[in-house]
Structure 1
Amino acid sequence: MKERARSFRRYQWGGWAVLAAAFFVVFVHRYHIAAVADNLAATPPKGLGLSGTALGNLASIYFYFYALMQIPSGILCDSIGARRTAFAGMAVAAIGAALTAFSGSLALISVSRALVGIGTAVIYVGVLRFLTLWFPTGRFATMTGCTSITGNFGAMTAATPLAMLVLYTGWRGSFIVLSVISLVVAVLVYLVVRDYPQDLGFPAVTEQAGQNGLALPELWSALKMIFRNRLTWLCFLIYLGASSATFSFNGLWGISYLMQVYQLPKGVASSYTLMVSLGIALGSLFWGWLSDQCKRKKPIVVGGVIVQGILWTLLITPAADGALLPRWLLPILLFLIGLSAIVFVLTFAAVKERNDVRYSGTAISVVNTGGFLGGALMNAAVGRMLDAGWQGKVVDGVRVFSQGAYHRAFLLFPVAIAMALICAIMLPGERACECGRGADLAKGHFGK
């Protein structure tokens, strides 16, 4: 009996560990472009000679396809299982990364990033599906928090360590390495992960293990019900506005900004953006804990969005001729930005509670689309504004944007956050006895 229990735990924890590793790789894929942005902007043959607009559009492609795949990801996991869905996703991401390494034009690298977005989009939903079927309900929130931290360690790896890899192997070589790693993880997913405990002769852990998900007619009814719920769209816009600045800065423009405006070496600049990811990782647990303690979500969301707006305003305050912030302040400020940005995760709990419980997963996937759509739109908009303010300066074949150009482009950040604040204020009130319910769900859901 004890041997059987140990065998179950091996499959339970082994399956989660492999899927968490896949989620780790997802974050490396997501932020890889930021580590090679200056390389892609360099003139051929060193790079592709991409302008700010082209870089912004390229980074946005990943977010567009990731967002478009959110609801289909849930349908795939419910129909063919997390194992085959995650295996296929990592394999597609590996192909996309390999194509990126051999891309010689904007068109081909755009197709490559689309493949990476499609492939990585299914992983987090697959993790949630696995946790639902292999872990007791009471441990679901804890395990999602652990999964989130694992993913954000991937974001940290995409900062300084990945920048060092780029310096050692070149930007094309770094994509080859990531492609190989993705393929290895895909194989591990197929070999280790199992969809149901019953597949191995173990009893079902939860009642959901015997369910096959929503039928197509019921799915259509669920979507109509969710779309008609005003709260769904408030949470969608909060996520879109409150995350777009962080997605854009950490996912593309942050390293270039710190290198070109503050004259920081690439390794130092990437370590500073790593502080944003660290703040996100810790904040994903902190805000859920705080919500549990005070039994309120709306005041926390409003307060967190306000703090984030103030911090971004402080960072971008230096205009064209303004004095820059002290360098020692930058990592502290960026850490606090990450910590405050993640407050929007509480909207997942809010939308879950205010929609039919049978459709809570679909409701969350709709809201989750907002964050990645916001990141895509922000990347493209910032790129266009940087190109509009470019003064023709080129160093080593790379366009160099002025302090004033970054200042004007980054003014979009507080504008988006102001929209999130308006929507947060419009959230309905909540009774103290209800508002703590589901807060655990909010732990660790940033940019899933």
Structure 2
Amino acid sequence: MKNIPPLANPAVNSLPPMKAGLFVWGFGAVFYLLGFFHRVAPAVITGELMQEFAISAAALGNLSALYFYSYVAMQIPTGILADRWGPRRLLTLGTGVAALGTLMFALAPGILWAGIGRLLIGGSVAVAFVCLLKLAANWFAPSRFALVSGLALFCGIMGAVFAGTPLRLFVDIFGWRSVVLFSAAITVLAGVGTWLFVRDYPHEKGFKDFLITAKPAASHKKTGYIADIIQVFSYRNTLLLFIIPGGIVGCLLTFSGLWGVPYLTTMHGISPAKAASLTSALLVAWAVGGPVFGWLSDKLKNRKRLYLTGCAVAAAGWIAIVYLPNLSLVQLLFVLLITGFFSGSMIISFAFAKESVPPYLAGTVSGVINMGVMMGPMILQPLVGLALDRLWTGEVLAGIRIYSAIAYRTGFTLMLAWILLSLLLLLFTRETGCRQMPH
């Protein structure tokens, strides 16, 4: 596929309606939803995985984090491949590899094959978000880009919600391997639908292309990819925003994506299903908070102050969750909802960073920031597991290690340290006022 699409047929006068764009975009959104599902699924089946593979908390943390290792590694290459191959081809390939990885994970006879499956899943679903942004730019008016981007995050987090209480209920009935196998089948269907119905540009379905896809940016500079990455990091905001969202998302996905369910069952004496409901509530609040903070930031023409507020409230929420163990379930739910909602402020990172670099580096900086976002859970999940193992007292129940309140509090302190660092670093960012900074 050529880098620059052919011009739309002059005889075609109509731009694609919203429903046509949503139909095409929706197949990528399903894949992104499945990616989030796999991202946090280990949180609900920690006991089954530790028992099945006879592994410790540190080993389970590493198994879960393998997803993030390959996901992070694929961020910048994904941007390059999306430009060269187009989202249709890349999404179809991604769904195929993801289905293979899911199948390997579901049928894994041991921890090695399960780990390879997680690696394949993480690397393949890494293409979903970038392809969604590219389809949004091609199939929707520029004025709708922020709205559709917010919908993308919402769809992804809904995948994480499905990996909460619904997953726990299905695992209790059918077993974890059967449920994961079913998700592999859904991934195959998403891939087939992508190849049959998704097209990279509106003119390929008989519509007129939006100007943003028909004309390359006049300011684009033909430089090497490595040179672009180096230049992106030469801007202060980029370097800071590479680290900042990792603290917020690291807390969210380390808790809701792995250690939150066993922590809540141990500390509050509730069932895994009820604990999964609480972590799902955290994610739903995050899903709502993202679009709200994005819209409010645009409306107020402010990035830094709003981001600072969100990060500060989120940090206070995590301190309460970790250090106030006597909260009632109602109080805990309220704190989780507030923490999740204000964590949605991390979505400001993408617009903040894009406005901080020259326009021709917008794609590169998006990949860099998304890499920083995922480095949070990638680093924190195994570190928390290591801390738990170091403070393990030897207690075992049904072949599963049981960790004390002190162990969990020590492990979660690592999360708190990063989000507090994020709050500090935000003070040193330079406000853009929702305008492209002069360079």
Q: State the TM-score, normalized to the length of structure 1.
A: 0.90
Residues in 1 aligned to 2:125 and 2:320: alpha-carbon distance in whole angstroms = 34
Residues in 2 aligned to 1:396 and 1:407: alpha-carbon distance in whole angstroms = 23
Q: What residue number does 1:328 align with?
A: 330
Offset at 1:25?
1.3
Offset at 1:244?
1.0
1:289 corresponds to 2:265: no
| Alignment check: 8 A CA contact 1:196 1:209 kept | no
Offset at 1:293?
3.3
Residues in 2 aligned to 1:223 and 1:51: alpha-carbon distance in whole angstroms = 38
Residues in 2 aligned to 1:362 and 1:345: alpha-carbon distance in whole angstroms = 17
1:362 corresponds to 2:364: yes
**What is the identity percentage for the equivalent residue pairs of Structure 1 and Structure 2?**
30
Offset at 1:329?
1.3
Q: Secondary structure at the match of 2:24?
A: helix
Aligned length: 425
| Alignment check: 8 A CA contact 2:151 2:291 kept | no
Deviation string, structure 1 residues 390-441 (Cα, Å, up to 9, x no partner): 11111111111111110111111211111101110111244xxxx1348xxx
Deviation string, structure 1 residues 248-304 (Cα, Å, up to 9, x no partner): 001111111111221211111110001111111110122123223332221111222
Residues in 1 aligned to 2:342 and 2:20: alpha-carbon distance in whole angstroms = 36
1:260 corresponds to 2:262: no
| Alignment check: 8 A CA contact 1:11 1:192 kept | no
Offset at 1:347?
1.9
Q: Give the 3 Å change call, closer, same or farther, for CA 364–6 of structure 1 in structure 2.
A: closer
1:119 corresponds to 2:124: yes
1:202 corresponds to 2:207: yes
Q: List gaps (5 residues or longer) in structure 2.
A: 1-11
1:20 corresponds to 2:26: no
Aligned residue identity for 2:106? A
| Alignment check: 8 A CA contact 2:288 2:344 kept | no
Q: What residue number does 1:249 align with?
A: 255
Residues in 1 aligned to 2:129 and 2:16: alpha-carbon distance in whole angstroms = 25
Deviation string, structure 1 residues 311-336 (Cα, Å, up to 9, x no partner): 11111114xxxx52212212111111
Q: Secondary structure at the match of 1:264?
A: coil
Aligned residue identity for 1:290? L
Deviation string, structure 1 residues 213-271 (Cα, Å, up to 9, x no partner): 98984433322210211211101111122221111001111111111221211111110
| Alignment check: 8 A CA contact 1:291 1:300 kept | yes
1:374 corresponds to 2:372: no
| Alignment check: 8 A CA contact 1:239 1:420 kept | yes
1:157 corresponds to 2:162: yes
Q: Give the 3 Å change call, closer, same or farther, for CA 364–340 of structure 1 in structure 2.
A: same
| Alignment check: 8 A CA contact 2:15 2:207 kept | no
Offset at 1:171?
1.1
Q: What residue number does 1:436 align with?
A: 434
* Further displaced range: 183-192 or 287-296: 287-296
* Further displaced range: 207-216 or 27-36: 207-216
Q: Secondary structure at the match of 2:385?
A: helix
| Alignment check: 8 A CA contact 1:137 1:206 kept | no
Residues in 1 aligned to 2:261 and 2:196: alpha-carbon distance in whole angstroms = 38
1:48 corresponds to 2:53: yes
Residues in 2 aligned to 1:54 and 1:119: alpha-carbon distance in whole angstroms = 23
Q: Give the 3 Å change call, closer, same or farther, for CA 92–107 of structure 1 in structure 2.
A: same
After superposition, where does 1:355-434 map in structure 2 within 5 Å? 355-430=357-432
Q: Give the 3 Å change call, closer, same or farther, for CA 358–397 of structure 1 in structure 2.
A: same
Q: CA RMSD of the aligned region, Å?
A: 2.1
Q: What residue number does 1:443 align with?
A: none
Deviation string, structure 1 residues 111-139 (Cα, Å, up to 9, x no partner): 11000001100011111111111111111
After superposition, where does 1:62-141 map in structure 2 within 5 Å? 62-141=67-146
Which residue, out of 177, 181, 187, partners 1:176?
181
Q: Secondary structure at the match of 1:150?
A: helix
Aligned residue identity for 1:296? N
Q: List gaps (5 residues or longer) in structure 1.
A: 439-448
Q: What residue number does 1:34 align with?
A: 43
Q: Secondary structure at the match of 2:53?
A: coil
Residues in 2 aligned to 1:48 and 1:175: alpha-carbon distance in whole angstroms = 16
